[in-house]
Structure 1
Amino acid sequence: MKKRFLKYLLLGWITVSLPVGADTVLPQPGVKTNSSPATAGVSLVSSNQSNSVYPGDTLYIEIPGQIEMSQNYDIDPDGNLHLMIVGKVNARDLDLSALALKLTELYRNYIGKEEKVTVRLVEQKRYVHVTGGIRYPGWYRVSPFMELEDLILMAGGLLPGADTAGIKLKRLMPEKQQELQLKDKITLYPNDTIIIPWPKDYREIVDAGDLLFIRIPEKQPPVRSINVESFRLQEALTQNQIEVDERGSIALPIYGHLYVKNLTPDTIKERITERLPLYLTTSEAVEVSIIEKKQYINIFGHVEKPGRYNIPENGNIQIAIKTAGGAIDGAILSDVIIQREVNNRLDKYKVNLYQYIITGDNRLLTPIHENDTIFVPISSSFGNVKRTLMPWTPPQSRLEKDTKKKVKILGAVTNPGIYEPFEDMDLLDLMVLAGGQRYEADISRIDIVRNNKVTVQFNLNQFLKNEDPAEIPKIYTGDTVYVNFLQNKMFEPGEDRVIYVDGQVETPGQYKLYDQMTVLQAIALAHGFKSWADVEHIAIIRTVAGKQENIFYNYRRGVSGKYPEVNIYLEADDVVIVP
């Protein structure tokens, strides 16, 4: 049982403890009240103290004799708890006593015969959906008792032109769906939807970080020198894509800087037109539109690359953390914190990312606002930590001793490193933990080193093709697996006919040019695109008769097979730029 318990202990549970006042009254869906729709939310609950638990609540569960398992747990939006060892437990429509009795039976094999599990309500929260004319629509985990004004501020405030007069609440009750008018104090039930009317004349405005399309009908001066910065400048000019900086300004070659924050695209168009020569100031001269809404946020704590990032406005917290290189081993995924300044005060919102990874429920992902700070904490113990999603990296002083109890995988895999073994682990299990093989891996030659010598040489390629009847090798504590690389020729900078690949690719640099090499082959040599690459606007810079030419390439059209004319062959000294 101890081995089984430790296996579960490696997963990732943690919550935060907040006191609940003795006079707090819990909303009870289905309780009949005397409130009219016009005053919905002012008094929609019984005056009696309720012991029931609801989605969004945080409970402290004490399991006798099991210190590591006795902690705070969140109830997910569907009313489920996700507990150590016993897994998912439905707690909806149960009171604290009934839930304690249910858990006592589930943990019977792990506690004494006369011992009982105890459950205490720590914090009341509700998952509600805010939509319509609001700055950041989405699902929020909020207090069941709120001022309408505070709820609006939490969701980023109203859009310009929207007001609170027509705000409605939709609530799914056992009998039917209710629709209520909201004002002042409100009481929220699980999965309530708050609908804010759209403004009658809404025009989207530009914010810091946004990516704009700006076309100014004037040929730009040629770039004199070929270097990384000039490539990026030329790319920006030819692609017509300009990103708004953190100050809210854009840099227009020739025409200077322009402050555009909180302006509409039409207003920006007018401001640019004012700076143009008279012969270009026609109504059709300038085009301005928003390609993508983006925003600057901070990502700190136990992540690979803490810092400030510009991410898509509709990106969730998981995407944000991945942008910072992902969480590091020891990160407490169930207690990720969003820090946000609201009305000169610093508010904190907890996101249980571990629960999201289990359920895939988007209601758990609180929307990210501009200038939010996401903080990923680190565990001080081996409980409640992220263990097998990334390589294990202990302090150097413990490395030699502790790695004897681990397994290593090296060579042509995505995440080579040291991993925690588990019962009945085989070669495929370990390769999955390491993110799979890289494109240049030779999976027909995988070596397993045991007791300081190669004891197994396995052809995984034949196994996957059902050409090898041998069983997949087992992996044991202390093993080292090496996935060999294909025997490729390295490209040296001094070779004659070369091309250059720059921008949003994994390995920018200089590569040898082969006969009839295509853009797709060049990108493959550079190990493919990065996450934020704009694959539809790739630029090829070529010098012809002493003059620079720009050729544009759409990767999606190229790989579709429907447009053979886009299969461009590269020439010596071509520069491929992926924006």
Structure 2
Amino acid sequence: MIVPKLKTQILLTALLIAVPMTLLAQQGTMSLPARSGSQPAAASAEASDPSQSAPTNYILGPQDQITLYVADAEEMNDKPIRIDMRGDLSLPMAGRVHAAGLTIEQLESEIENRLKKYLTDPDVVVSVTEFRSQPVSVFGAVGKPGVHQLEGRKTLIEVLSLAGGLRDDAGNSIKITRSLEWGPIPLPDAKDDPTGRFSMASLSAKSVLNGSDPRDNIVIRPNDVISVPKADLVYVVGSVHKPGGFPLGQNGSLSTLQVLSLAEGLDKTAAPDKAKIMRQVAGQSNRTEIAVNLKKLMAGKDPDLPLRSDDILFVPNSAAKNAAGRGAEAAIQIITGLTIYGRL
């Protein structure tokens, strides 16, 4: 006969073992709640990837690639599907669906309507895994020139950011060419090209980046071509530490002292009072010479002269102070030619 106290202890022990085992068994057979607007773990991780996610108002087009998640239709899930050049998809049960021109939400609704013949209250989630239908070309003085995908609505500043931003040698103009299928470029100076197929416009990079006129930050359309020309150059040759060509930048101008600073200053053999600016004469092949006393300029006694595109600042050395003849001029031309063409 079991003592009552011992019997109680045995019963308690049995309960402590049985209850957790029952709960584990229930968890093992418990079905997950019905899906409502969510995706399985793999699809959710993919959709959360910024490089692959898209706003629900993204307009699909040919060559975009999507994946589907459809509750109770495993055969349709997580398989890459490419929109063909006609803008169509071929799907199990749903058949051929014209996807080009639809937003993601519209395509989800269209597929759901078609699946109602086979499924009760179908719930479809579309994820774009490759963007191929909205290319825009960005060339010139940008960090990552090439073809980029808009992946939805993008402004000019956003597209320039996609292309790595403007380089230090970028000029102050941004040129845009757009197919007239998308309408004219909404800028005051936009003009049609001679063929009547494209709209072209140019605007100030400084204005766009500074936000001085928000109207310049236009929405970019698929197949737009954006070019950012390099800045014009000025040149420094002679007795400086770093001779060469230097971009005028987005401001479009540099002063003599600024260029001298970019050239890392005068070397110890320089004759600063004999420097000169060699400037191209408009419509002619020759250059005019402008005397510059760098010694007085650096002391603040002379005005800091602005340099123009293709100006050459020549700083002779002390041994060449009196070399004003043709031999010196020829030497300047040789140095100038080597410097200019060495930078191209």
Scaled by the length of structure 2, the TM-score of the pair is 0.33
Scaled by the length of structure 1, the TM-score of the pair is 0.22
**Larger proportion of helix:** 2
Structure with greater contact order relative to length (CA < 8 Å, sep ≥ 6): 2
